[in-house]
Amino acid sequence: MTQPTYHELLAENERLRVLAEHQQQTILRQEQLIARLDQQVRVLREEVEQLHRQHKRQAAPFSKGPPKPKPRRPGRKPGSQYGCVANRPDPPSGQISEVYDAPLPATCPGCGGATLRRTAVAVQYQVDLPSEPLYRQFNVQRGRCADCQQRVQGRHPLQTSNALGAARSQLGPRLQALLAVAQKQLGLSYGKCTRLLKDVWGIALTRGGVFQTLQRLARRVAPAVVVIRQALRTAPEVAADETGWRIGGKSAWLHVQATDQLVAYVIDRSRASTVPAQVLGWDYPGVLVHDGLRTYDNFRQARHQQCLAHVLRRCQALAEHACGRSAITLAWLQEHLQAALAYRDRLRNQPQRRESLRVWLWHHRQDLLQGLDGWRPRLQEFKRLRRFLRERSDSLLTFLAHGSAATNWRAEQALRPAVVNRKVWGGNRTDLGSRVQSTLMTVLGTLERQRHNLLATLSQALCRGQLRLRLASSRR
């Protein structure tokens, strides 16, 4: 094999130099392309994350996605799974206020015959709203004490106020209670409340009159709100949550603290921990179930329980876009938390397992920490989840040690009616309106949880001046 000549080596060297320069330019272009693609990926991921947040935000319009291609038939299932067959019960005989006869027609509707013979009389019942409002007149006796010369006047049990003169024409207790339920719980606007009274009963009332009525009612039941908050401070377990609100078109927050018997609402322009502290106090010693918001960490004396439903949904949402080790870790995390929920169910059926619960909790937490230590995600949203689980690993399984709820479902259920109302009329216009809103929602929500008759209980409170509540300690 002959050795290449000097000129051949120079030509080969020049060719390799040109090739190297071309490859270097290609690498430079690829690096610039990779940098642009990385920037696009970051922008798109931020947009995707924002869209996910908007989809989960409670202020978004109601939507469950596109309709199913083959939906199930509406109505109950036939056969043994039909369910309980129910019908409206007959009213007691003492409640029958009107009796009407429905005689036979003059001719037969089938053949036109005029000879009809009665064979039996059947009974049908009907319940309806009264078409005329009930107007009351109170002849209030006035006098003066002969000893101290103080002016005194009588009061009937159905009166809600002692006002006379220009304020002598008032709304009755049941009507005031109806306005509170219709506006604050059923979500009717002030205009719709006035239209309801006008169209159904012919009662003329302005929108301002509705608000003033609710404002006076809120002042009447304000002492009950104080009592509810004091009872929440001694409850063994409280679920907390918050959602967006509006005051005068500006951002605010609706905070809620709930048990199975009590609920307290606070509307404030701040999302800070000082707002729930107004209800629970900084030294609340019970189990505080929440969704992981950092403001709740300021309750140092409480035993915290992170809402597992939020954590599982977060893992499921990230798993849809994960691959490799992250996908495996997220699936393992979901199985790990589901195993804790399954162990809770076994404890209910097998109480003897509680003797080894402490050992099981220690091993379960160590497995969680070891699994998180071996996970080194690169994307920011995965890093946030990993940091959240590591920092709050000791408050994920509080429900097993203390028998509390594993999710803050009580608080979320308490927020749902308020969220629906916010979608209808957007919040409150003034700070005074927000205080009236939170006061009446607190009272109505508590009465509903205690299965009171709302109209009857509020009517009695208006007449007697005191709202009676059951404030025994809530069960876990």
Q: Which amino acid is at 296?
A: Y
Predicted pLDDT of residue 474: 47
Cβ distance 245 to 441 under 8 Å? no
Whether residue 282 contacts residue 299, with contact meaning beta carbons closer than 8 Å, is answered with yes
**Ranges 68-77, 237-246, 354-363, 395-404, most confident:** 237-246
**In the prediction, which pLDDT does 283 show?**
94
**pLDDT given at position 55:** 62
Range of weakest confidence among 365-369, 464-468, 469-473: 469-473
Half-sphere exposure of 46 (CA within 13 A, CB side): 5
Contact status, residue 266 vs residue 279, Cβ threshold 8 Å: yes
Against a cut of 0.85, is the pTM above it? no
Pairing relation of β-strands 263-268 and 151-153?
A: unpaired
pLDDT of residue 198: 93
The SS3 assignment for 41 reads helix
Tokens of 45: 């991921």
For tokens 């040690």, what's the residue?
A: 401
Q: What is the distance between the alpha carbons of residues 343 and 173, in angstroms, rounded to a whole number?
A: 51
**Contact of 438 with 252, CB cutoff 8 Å:** no
- Element housing 245 (H / E): strand 237-247
DSSP state for residue 428 in the 8-state scheme: B
- Please give the pLDDT value at position 468: 76
Neighbours of 401 (CB within 10 A): 14
In this predicted structure, the answer to whether residue 312 has a pLDDT above a threshold of 70 is: yes
Q: Which pLDDT band, with edges at 50, 70 and 90, does 475 fall under?
A: very low
Inter-residue contact 214 to 204 (CB < 8 Å): no
Closest CA to 330 of 312, 315, 313: 315
Give the model confidence (pLDDT) of 15-67 as tens digits.
Answer: 888 889 889 999 998 998 898 888 888 888 888 887 777 666 554 455 566 77
The 3-state DSSP class for residue 402 equals helix
- Rounded to whole angstroms, how far apart are CA atoms 109 and 232? 67
pLDDT tens figures, 182-237: 999 898 999 999 999 999 999 999 999 999 999 999 999 999 999 999 999 999 99
> pLDDT digits over 109-140, tens only?
888 888 888 889 899 888 888 888 889 898 98
Residue 348's pLDDT band (cuts 50, 70, 90): confident
Give the pLDDT band (50/70/90) at residue 476.
Answer: very low
Residue 327, burial from CB neighbour count under 10 angstroms (0-12, 13-18, 19+): middle
Tens digit of each residue's pLDDT (9 = 90 or more) over 398-444: 998 888 999 999 999 999 999 988 888 888 889 999 999 999 999 99
User: Rounded to whole angstroms, how far apart are CA atoms 426 and 9?
Assistant: 82
Q: 153 CB contacts (<8 Å, ≥6 apart)?
A: 140, 141, 142, 143, 162, 164
